[in-house]
């Protein structure tokens, strides 16, 4: 099966330029393509995951990936999907984020001679002569056309800085540099990058008189159009220090029935026949498909051993045992409890609730258990003697757990 047909079958493709030409080019010979990731944090999150999986499919089909870490473009900040200027980061912070992300990416891609390669656009963007850049690249961009791009239109209503206005030119210049230095003809990414990617492909066609293409994947959304990847603690990170393997596993174990088949196709490498079989399960049997989904994704991110631990922990809690070491923990000491030992504060501290306000609402709704006892008093306090040698299990709802440990 042609790789484009396979990506469509699995549900990836959102938009593509010159589809017939790209189809033939991918069929004719191996193509070098790139995926850009701006290092805005020291970890990738689930929003990065789908384009990475798409890149992996393309690599398995014989094409060569370039992973571009945006050490240069991160100095500006992508305005796409943002209602305000991104927080400015120092060069040192960006460099640290790049190193952390490069380490994570090695789990998903094969790097080495003739395989995937990694580049940092800081190597060419930070030494640009601005006047030369404006003359060479800026003269080919129409401001009128740029202002119609989705990445700018939304921001014009609340304020767009000139700093951010340069972002499209910089990303387009990345594509041009990769074309010149590595023969890269295809950029892939999330559909929110469509305007920037079109501009890069157009820049190559205008300056080099050569074919270049853009291919976007759909953003990870639920069946009812909500953005995926948020937890009580914020983003769903791929770094286990930010989102534990158990929390990661539970997130996917608890997706809606209607989303299971689509996520199996997008976020695992299971054969599509197996995806369709699992997606056809109904009622209680759909839990088998959810377990497979959660296990396969967790295994890809955290490895077989951590996936098995997370699965065992989930099963232990479901069975009422709750003794697994893989259950998320939160350490407290006597001094911390002496300062504030309110249950609502501890629920927020351990991440089961986003705030004390939410914790109060959960207690009032009867959705919080302390050990095996339902909490009913919003002023309930956790004394040190209540935390045994194995800790004290806190639960919000049916599926969110944390073990309180006394140091």
Reported as type and span, the H/E element at residue 186 is strand 186-190
Q: How many CB atoms lie within 10 A of CB 151?
A: 23
Residue 328 has pLDDT above 60, yes or no: yes
What is the C-alpha separation between 396 and 402, in angstroms, rounded?
A: 9
Residue 52 has pLDDT above 80, yes or no: yes
Q: Bridge-partner residues for 62, per DSSP? A: none
Average pLDDT, the chain: 89
Query: Could you give the residue range(s) of every CATH 1.10.240.10 domain in the chain?
Result: 231-318
Residue 81 has pLDDT above 60, yes or no: no
Alpha helices in 254-355 (DSSP H): 260-267, 272-279, 286-302, 304-318, 334-339, 343-349
Query: Could you give the residue range(s) of every CATH 3.40.50.620 domain in the chain?
Result: 3-217
Residue 19 has pLDDT above 90, yes or no: yes
Residue 141 has pLDDT above 70, yes or no: yes
pLDDT of residue 112: 87
Q: Would you please indicate which residues are annotated as catalytic (active-site) residues?
A: 40, 45, 48, 82, 86, 171, 192, 227, 230-231
Residue 191 has pLDDT above 70, yes or no: yes
Reported as type and span, the H/E element at residue 66 is strand 64-69
Residue 36 has pLDDT above 80, yes or no: yes
Indicate the CATH number for domain 329-406.
3.10.290.10
pLDDT of residue 132: 95
Q: Please give the residue that has the higher pLDDT: either 77 or 323.
A: 77
pLDDT tens digits, residue range 230-256? Answer: 555 568 999 998 888 988 998 999 899
What is the C-alpha separation between 244 and 344, in angstroms, rounded?
A: 22
DSSP for 298-321 reads HHHHH-HHHHHHHHHHHHHHHTT-
What is the C-alpha separation between 139 and 152, in angstroms, rounded?
A: 19
pLDDT tens digits, residue range 355-390? Answer: 999 999 999 999 999 987 889 999 999 988 888 777
Q: For domain 231-318, give the fold.
A: Tyrosyl-Transfer RNA Synthetase (1.10.240)
Choose the CATH number for 3-217 among 3.40.640.10, 3.20.20.70, 3.40.50.2300, 3.40.50.620.
3.40.50.620
**Residue 201: helix, strand or coil by DSSP?**
helix
What is the C-alpha separation between 37 and 312, in angstroms, rounded?
A: 34
Q: Please give the residue that has the higher pLDDT: either 268 or 107.
A: 268
């Amino acid at each position: 099966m042609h790789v484009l047909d396979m990506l469509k079958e699995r549900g990836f493709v959102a938009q593509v330029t010159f589809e017939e030409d790209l189809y033939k080019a991918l069929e004719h010979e191996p193509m070098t393509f790139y995926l850009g990731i701006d290092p805005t944090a020291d970890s990738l999150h689930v929003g990065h995951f789908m384009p990475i999986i798409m890149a992996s499919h393309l690599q398995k089909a014989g094409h060569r990936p370039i992973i571009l870490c945006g050490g240069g473009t991160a100095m500006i900040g992508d305005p796409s999907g943002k209602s305000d200027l991104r927080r400015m980061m120092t060069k040192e912070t960006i460099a640290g984020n790049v190193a952390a992300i490069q380490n994570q990416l090695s789990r998903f891609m094969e790097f080495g001679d003739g395989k995937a390669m990694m580049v940092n656009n800081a190597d060419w963007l930070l030494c640009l002569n601005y006047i030369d850049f404006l003359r060479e690249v800026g003269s080919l961009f129409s401001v009128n056309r740029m202002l119609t791009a989705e990445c700018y239109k939304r921001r014009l209503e609340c304020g767009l800085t000139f700093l951010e206005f340069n972002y499209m030119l910089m990303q387009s210049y990345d594509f041009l540099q990769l074309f010149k230095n590595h023969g890269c003809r295809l950029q892939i990414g999330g559909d929110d990058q469509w305007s920037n990617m079109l501009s890069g492909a157009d820049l190559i066609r205008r300056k080099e008189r050569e074919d270049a293409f853009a291919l976007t994947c759909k953003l990870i959304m639920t069946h009812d159009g909500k953005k995926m990847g948020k937890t009580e603690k914020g983003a769903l990170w791929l770094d286990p220090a930010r989102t534990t393997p158990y929390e990661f596993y539970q997130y996917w174990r608890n997706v809606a029935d209607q989303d299971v088949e689509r996520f199996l196709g997008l976020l695992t490498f299971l054969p599509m026949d197996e995806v369709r079989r699992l997606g056809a399960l109904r009622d209680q049997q759909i839990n088998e498909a959810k377990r497979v989904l959660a296990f396969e994704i967790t295994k890809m991110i955290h490895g077989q051993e951590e996936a098995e631990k997370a699965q065992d922990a989930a099963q232990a809690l479901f069975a009422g045992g709750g003794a697994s070491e893989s259950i998320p923990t939160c350490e407290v000491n006597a001094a911390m409890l002496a300062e504030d030992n309110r249950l609502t504060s501890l629920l927020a501290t351990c991440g089961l609730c986003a705030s004390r306000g939410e914790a109060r609402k959960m207690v009032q709704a009867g959705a919080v258990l302390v050990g095996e006892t339902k909490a009913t008093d919003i002023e309930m306090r956790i004394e040190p003697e209540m935390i045994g040698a194995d800790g004290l299990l806190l639960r919000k709802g049916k599926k969110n757990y944390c073990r309180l440990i006394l140091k």
